[in-house]
Structure 1
């Protein structure tokens, strides 16, 4: 490229290369990629002039290279459905293009012999990182059965891959979005109301358990609020906005899970030690765990992100039965998404479920000892339902769904989890009643513990 002073084709044994000296009359310059062989399909590229704005005139050259073999890029048995192409500008690392690089790829046809869904996906080869194919920064549009249009905001190695997708039908996506947004809006309002009630109501501050409930409400408020801005931020041209929203969602999600675990720990201590659970600086220590542990995890990821590819940003959710994608701000690296979040959630969910079962058995065991009533009263059932809400056990529905194909479970999951803030608000209101009798030990007991102690007295 350095020695080429005019547009030239080069044909080598394993690849073909064209170097084009650019003159910049238009916003996009069409260039046909060279062929490695006579049987190779023709690939049309459109090079954005923007890539040469800060490049000296002598270096305003673009190279397009076509590889004869894809085996060196197929280390993990990726289904590469097109020719592999490299697009580069001499001496420059072209990223974050406003006007994207466009490539029209002829693709191999495939026949689907399974129940799984597959789509074409424009991806780039991460040579400087994990040596894997990644879709970041590329949009995919299928022009016809055998041509795929790739629009990418950077220049490097590209190809079209066949990938399995977990699709959401467009109509279901729209309905679930309305449910989620309405539910998150109501949950945010009630979560904020719980915090305000705690601040201005003296009765609400009388119990440590209420402080824990309100801390969970604060985490849910932050989660619901940031979630509602996720799709909007993904459309912003300033990528830092989307990164900020993604980080906020991740932090508030981990905080919510942590406070649910703290609810379970507090409940277990009350059940095991009843009256004697005094711990010095109890709430301060819980707050350091509830807000601090997620901060350390997210802060560590942000620190590592400076040295590697971004972990947070816009990702595309593909809708089934269409080529449409819906961008949202979230975690872009699957290893982080599943390695951190799923592990964290699994530990919290299993622990909280064990505590829920233990407390429920204790409640109904006390009920059996009471010969005055043969039926389980509504108070017992409502207590267990309230515990399920506080401990977030409805989040475990994610294990029951078969991806996004199990729509009934997905609907129940959206409705139950977005209304969690409302349920906690009812708990806080019940405990803040001015006519509620307070015991001397009230600062150490929870709503459920008060009920258990009453049962023990009978």
Structure 2
């Protein structure tokens, strides 16, 4: 009986041993951090890393920080680097990050990330499971508060730390990383993929693409035939596809335009293209890289960038030089580059900050206040005139004044309500503001249609006023109600200021950073705005052609104010929203803000001016014995309205 129990226990122990051995995990990376206590002498970084797996040593003295060891698969670097341009603070924090799966090593010194070994595809064996070995003795200058993955090793200041590793099959390590590294789960393989080919005399180009199951993102590289150097009989070309490289932060775009890592990010895919022992630049036919990536909203900028090593080979500097960007929709980007290095797409996380936001906000507040007061005056004026005249245009003007008054009032208070009420209030205020905007644009379209009816449909009765009111006030409820029912469309929106990025302007509007809200904005507001502006421009031209020969239009002042008023009445000024001419962008932005904010005020001026013209015309008609045709009378009625 005891023998059977012993046999069962042995079997159970053996099974547990197998399970524990099969489930053992290797270290996917090493992160060693500490505080370098140095003197006042010039500081240097002494790097000496080479292939192997004998171990790693990180030490420091009064003037130098040493990183030495044989742990890499291919990287071989021996160099003494001056840190004076990187480091100025005493007792400086640093972190050494080693990732065997990609054979890459990065040293973070202060706020700088220095690439000691660039990423590459894994070799046969990876040096991993680096464990802390025999430490060096205490010293006045050295490394204090050493930690491995935030686990403290020693509070005292030591000369340095030693780490020993062991060889591990890279394929096993890669399979282990699948589904574990930085949210890959079961959709992406985190290891690099490398394609190599000998380019002989008859090389005619090549298409290379990523492979593997369940690829969420996809990259295709089109290599031109001109890639092969003409002086060599054959050369080895390699294309390496890298996934989710955290070692490639977004530091700078060019020497004149900088973007911090908080404002931009690179896509998950990074591609390295190289030719063995050759520096390829100025290709007559560019290398084409097609990125099929995750959804990127249209209002976020995308730039094809390459790793620029000319300014500083240690730091990652993304540059747009030599690359052209072609956007192929929200999920596809094509890059055309005339040189070889690392390539990716840099995406700005937030819309471009607005310059002069404070001045634009002040203009908007003053304009909305003036427009609201002017619209209230117009409402009173039209209500009185409706009793005296049967002209249908008065009812349409009244509807437009009501819609603009609501829009101006909501836009004036949207910033205050966003800061006071938060997201809960902004959900309702944003929907109401969207309704007011759609209603105002609809009423401007009704003005266009009514003017066309008066001029070209003289003998046909126009629709009753209640039909226009149903279109202008009830129809916009339909899209707003549907979007509100869908949910997560309306809420608080933040507009970043180029002057002060820490204090954005908050307003209640649509969440344009969400895909559904962005599509809703395009199919409702922007589509209606495009129809309104195009029809308004056409109608403005037709009206001008009909009445340009009148006596009162020969007065420059009257003609200018009339065209100005008709432009506001037909919504033509909103067309400035579509103009993005870079040299004049600030001027167009200020002009658009001024015209659209004061639109109610300009309409009041227009109607006051036309009322004065009508009185002058009435006096001249009383002294005249001639009468015009029916069409001329209708044209006069249209202009008076």
Answer yes or no: is 1:323 the counterpart of 2:501: yes
Give the structure-2-normalised TM-score. 0.45
2:253 alignment partner, SS class: coil
Give the Å deviation of 1:81.
Answer: 8.4
| Inter-CA distance 453–343: structure 2 relative to 1 (3 Å threshold) | closer
User: Hey, what's the Cα distance between the residues in 1 that align with 2:436 and 2:380?
Assistant: 19
Matched residue, 2:492: 314
Give the Å deviation of 1:218.
Answer: 0.8
Give 2:594's match in structure 1, choosing from 411, 415, 428: 415
Give the structure-1-normalised TM-score. 0.61
User: Hey, what's the Cα distance between the residues in 1 that align with 2:258 and 2:404?
Assistant: 34
Residues 143-154 of structure 1 aligned to structure 2 (within 5 Å): none
Which one has a larger percent helix, Structure 1 or Structure 2? 1
Answer yes or no: is 1:293 the counterpart of 2:293: no
User: Hey, what's the Cα distance between the residues in 2 that align with 1:430 and 1:68?
Assistant: 67
Deviates more, 1:425-434 or 1:233-242: 425-434
Matched residue, 1:270: 454
Given that 2:382 and 2:398 are in contact with CA atoms closer than 8 Å, whether structure 1 keeps it comes out as yes
Answer yes or no: is 1:406 the counterpart of 2:520: no
Contiguous gaps of at least 5 residues in structure 1:
1-9, 17-34, 45-64, 84-105, 124-130, 135-144, 147-159
Matched residue, 1:389: 568
User: Hey, what's the Cα distance between the residues in 1 that align with 2:453 and 2:599?
Assistant: 23
Give the Å deviation of 1:232.
Answer: 1.7
Answer yes or no: is 1:165 the counterpart of 2:351: yes
Contiguous gaps of at least 5 residues in structure 2:
1-22, 30-96, 109-147, 151-178, 189-214, 220-241, 266-293, 298-314, 317-345, 512-516, 622-629
CA RMSD, Structure 1 to Structure 2 (Å): 4.6
Given that 1:205 and 1:211 are in contact with CA atoms closer than 8 Å, whether structure 2 keeps it comes out as no
2:476 alignment partner, SS class: helix
Residues 17-416 of structure 1 aligned to structure 2 (within 5 Å): 67-68=181-182, 72=187, 75=216, 108-113=249-254, 118=259, 120-121=262-263, 162-163=348-349, 165-169=351-355, 172-201=356-385, 206-274=390-458, 276-279=459-462, 282-305=464-487, 310-320=488-498, 322-324=500-502, 325-332=504-511, 333-364=517-548, 366-367=549-550, 375=554, 378-402=557-581, 406-416=585-595
| Inter-CA distance 426–115: structure 2 relative to 1 (3 Å threshold) | same
| Structure showing greater Rg | 2
2:528 alignment partner, SS class: helix
Deviates more, 1:425-434 or 1:396-405: 425-434
User: Hey, what's the Cα distance between the residues in 1 that align with 2:451 and 2:216?
Assistant: 50
User: Hey, what's the Cα distance between the residues in 1 that align with 2:607 and 2:494?
Assistant: 39
Given that 1:191 and 1:218 are in contact with CA atoms closer than 8 Å, whether structure 2 keeps it comes out as yes
| Inter-CA distance 388–260: structure 2 relative to 1 (3 Å threshold) | same
Aligned residues: 340
User: Hey, what's the Cα distance between the residues in 1 that align with 2:574 and 2:470?
Assistant: 24
Given that 1:194 and 1:214 are in contact with CA atoms closer than 8 Å, whether structure 2 keeps it comes out as yes
Give the Å deviation of 1:363.
Answer: 1.6
| Inter-CA distance 237–183: structure 2 relative to 1 (3 Å threshold) | closer
User: Hey, what's the Cα distance between the residues in 1 that align with 2:634 and 2:257?
Assistant: 46
Given that 1:187 and 1:420 are in contact with CA atoms closer than 8 Å, whether structure 2 keeps it comes out as yes
User: Hey, what's the Cα distance between the residues in 2 that align with 1:383 and 1:109?
Assistant: 52
User: Hey, what's the Cα distance between the residues in 2 that align with 1:237 and 1:249?
Assistant: 15
Give the Å deviation of 1:412.
Answer: 1.2
User: Hey, what's the Cα distance between the residues in 1 that align with 2:407 and 2:26?
Assistant: 56
Matched residue, 1:54: none
Given that 1:197 and 1:204 are in contact with CA atoms closer than 8 Å, whether structure 2 keeps it comes out as no
